[in-house]
Every structure is written in C-alpha cells, then in structure tokens.
Amino acid sequence: METPHQNHINKADFHDVYEPAEDSFLMIDALEKDIDYLKAKKPIFCLEVGSGSGIVITAFSMAFPGTFCLSTDINVKACIMSKSTACYNKALHDSINMNLADSFTNNKLDVIIFNPPYVVTDSIECGQKDITASWAGGKNGREVTDKLLDMIPKKLADNGVFYLLLIEENIPKEVCEIMSSFGFNYECIIKRLVRNERQMVIKFFR
C-alpha cells in the first residue's frame, strides 16, 4: 500500500489534529499485510473511525478504488483534514463529524478500522472534541475503544472485518474476550515495540 502524501498540511495544523505517528503507520502496515485477505472480500463499504489527518483511510482508498470509503472523527478539524488528504492524493473518501459509528445503519460495513485514543488517563480527560481526543483513553486507555466494541456486532457486515490498534496497557486479552463473547474470532496481524510502547493491530471477524 502506498503512503499518502501530506505536503498540503501546514505543520501548525497538527496543533489541532493528530499528526501521523508510528501507530498510524503500523495500521497501514497491518492492512498491507492483510491485503490479499481484504481483496478477496471485495469490500463495498469501509469505515475508519477517528481518522485524524486521514492518512489511513486515504491509503485504504488508494489501494481499494472500488470501495466506498468513509471516515468519522469527533474533532471537526480532523474531518476537514481527512477530506483534504484524500483530495490531495486524488482518492475518493467522505468524512463525517460524528461520535464513533453512531449513525451508521446496521450490518452494512465490510471493513471497520480504528486507531483509538489509547493512552491511560483520568476518565475526566475523555470525551473532548479537540486534540485531547487523539490520545486520552481514560481507564486502561479503553474507555473510547470499549464503546466502539459494543457497536461492532451491529455495524459490521456478517462477513466483515474489524482492525483495532491496541497497546499492552489496554489489556488486549480482555478485548479479545469481549469480542469472543460477541461471537468474533481474532488474530494479531502485526506487533511493534515503539520506544516503550508495545503496539499491535488485531483483526476481528466472525
């Protein structure tokens, strides 16, 4: 998969929107590793939740030009940047200012991608709509992620796939147990140690 260009973004704009970092690139690498599996699925709809600068959903859209690509972000400035990243890279993509996947109708999404705010923080820091939403994950860094987990059985198509980035502090084993209780299988696609952070991308499928 190609990494989208970002020359159109002023460095100062990253005061308000998450600047792509190792976690963003790990998610792109995970999707690339799984590209044959994804191509075999011929996805019609792909949603990235929390798209930030739009680098991940744009990379997906460039690799899957026949897929209707959408993204959401709670931060309106991230939605605007995501759209501009897609345009600059001549990729098609629509961006919606929305909490998680709230307004999507049931079981229509073939692929869901989430690189969540995963840093362990006080709960009170969660739920902002600015740059804080990029990293503040509350208890175990899981408060936002857990809300999306609850939605996955209702939003994902029956043969759909959900890619989630986690760090060790998020207790990935517990996330896998929650998803198993909803009837999902799981597989760790990729792991990387980034400074002191053990990052991984896990895929969930029925």
Residues that bind ligand SAM (CB under 6 A): 18, 20, 23-24, 27, 49-53, 55-56, 72-75, 78, 99-100, 115-117, 133-134, 144
Chain position whose Cβ is nearest to ligand SAM:
50
3 versus 99: smaller Cβ distance to ligand SAM: 99
- Least distance from ligand SAM to the Cβ atom of residue 61, Å: 13
- Least distance from ligand SAM to the Cβ atom of residue 65, Å: 20
144 versus 176: smaller Cβ distance to ligand SAM: 144
- Least distance from ligand SAM to the Cβ atom of residue 180, Å: 24
What is the DSSP track for the chain? -PPPP-TTS-GGGGGTSPPP-HHHHHHHHHHHHTHHHHHHH--SEEEEES-TTSHHHHHHHHH-TTSEEEEEESSHHHHHHHHHHHHHTT---EEEE-STTTTPPTT-EEEEEE----B---GGGTT-SSGGGGTB--GGG-HHHHHHHHHHHHHEEEEEEEEEEEEGGG-HHHHHHHHHHTT-EEEEEEEEEETTEEEEEEEEE-
166 versus 179: smaller Cβ distance to ligand SAM: 166
133 versus 179: smaller Cβ distance to ligand SAM: 133
67 versus 75: smaller Cβ distance to ligand SAM: 75
- Least distance from ligand SAM to the Cβ atom of residue 51, Å: 5
- Least distance from ligand SAM to the Cβ atom of residue 183, Å: 24
CA distance 140 to 120: 5
**Cβ atoms of residues 119 and 141 within 8 Å:** yes
